[in-house]
Amino acid sequence: MFTAIPKGFRLAVASAGFKTPGRKDLALAVSDSSASAAGVFTTNLFKAAPVLVGQDIVKRKQSARAVLINTGQANACTGSQGLANCKRAAALTALAAGLEAHDILPASTGVIGAQFSMSLWEKAVPALAANLGTATLEDFASAIMTTDSFPKYAGERLDFNGKSVLLAGVAKGAGMICPNMATMLSMLLCDAFVAPEDWQAMFRRAVDKTFNRATVDGDTSTNDTLYGLANGASGVTVTGRDLEVLEAALTRVLADLAYKLVRDGEGATKVMHIAVTGAPSDKDAEIAARTVGHSPLVKTAMYGKDANWGRIVCALGRSGVHFNPEEVRVALCGVELFKNGQPTDLDFDALLKEPLEQRDLPLDISLGTGPGAYSLLASDLTHEYVSINADYRS
């Protein structure tokens, strides 16, 4: 497991007691120098206060020094008071940590609608600042968890002309996961220098290939946020063709984190690796993949280890994508279940008995001979998901 922290960054966690007394629920990452800042945010029209503040900083300044994340209070749908509280929390942190408030990128997760308890912020921030440099990547990832069952972090080391560059990322999220940049939060730190416009562009492309191709329940949150800071502390400036190398590594790290989100979907036991090919267009392939991946009938069949191809083709047929049903082929875990408009004559229940016991389930769908293709990670749907979300506010 990758645990290294990129040069020039210090991490801290603290307990504010926003929801559970004594639990670490506040995390801060600080760069020793100004860093190029990238951000990708929820497309939900009900954007949380930290999303609005973070969007403004990234767009206006394209640089930052810190990322501040709290759990237990989403600060979403909280109006002008929520915006004021978000900025006040940043100001308190800036004062304690020797920063400027406009250099702190905020992110929050928790129950929608509740205002920040500013008295808890005032008590916790001094300890948070005092702890800078003492937290590990795993500590940070653990502090931002809500219904997650394990901390999610990943990274990679690259070499540019004999100099080492580190990428390290964390993420949280288990439910309300269908990022369209769910209570999905992520942060990526890099110790190379990358021009802000290049950094933002590569982030957008990497997110489209990773987080935006992961789903647990089809819900896009008010708080989805991914931040990236690149501070240049390694002494490496990435330009030209080296940008492609860095972007490929960034994509791999984010893909690792996105997979872990789906793997840890609330109550999830399976990860469907849905690959649609032969569609009229990439967009049609995406629609088909998401219709299958979001179908409660398909998801519960995977939970039940049931090779129910009928639920899959039914979802495809209602997706709105135009194709010839006679050309559709469906294979699960390498076993072809359906082609030529009817099931194959294989004993697929017997063939799939052992493969369906595994966590990762490849689901390959061909809609015909078109050029369109798309891939999606999707979890199954279990009794535990219902239990967790039925009791979420209690």
The pLDDT confidence band at residue 1, using thresholds 50, 70 and 90, is confident
pLDDT tens, residue by residue, 305-362 = 999 999 999 999 999 999 999 999 999 999 999 999 999 999 999 999 999 999 999 9
pTM of full prediction above 0.75: yes
Whether the CB-CB separation of 2 and 151 falls below 8 Å is answered with no
Question: How open is the CA angle 156-160-161, to the nearest 5 degrees?
Answer: 150
pLDDT for 217 beyond 80: no
Q: Is the pLDDT of residue 265 over 80?
A: no
Helix (H, G, I), strand (E, B) or coil at 298: helix
State which amino acid sits at residue 307: A
Phi, psi angle pair for 388, to nearest 5°: -60, -45
Sheet holding 271-279, edge to edge: 214-215, 372-379, 271-279, 360-366, 329-332, 335-339, 342-343
Measured CA angle at 305 (ends 303, 306), to 5 deg:
110
**What residue spans define the domains of the chain?**
9-263, 271-390
Distance from CA of residue 114 to its chain's centroid? 23
pLDDT score for 321: 97
Angle value at C-alpha 271, between 265 and 277, nearest 5 degrees:
130
Task: Give, in words, the CATH class of 9-263.
Answer: alpha beta
d(Cα 47, Cα 203) in Å, to the nearest integer? 20
Burial of 91 (C-beta count, 10 Å sphere; 0-12/13-18/19+): middle
CB-CB contact of 380 with 300 (8 Å): yes
- Burial class (CB within 10 angstroms; exposed 0-12, middle 13-18, buried 19+) of 55: middle
How high is the pLDDT of residue 266?
A: 76
Q: Which CATH class is domain 271-390?
A: alpha beta
Catalytically active residues are 183
CA 181 to chain CA centroid, Å, is: 10
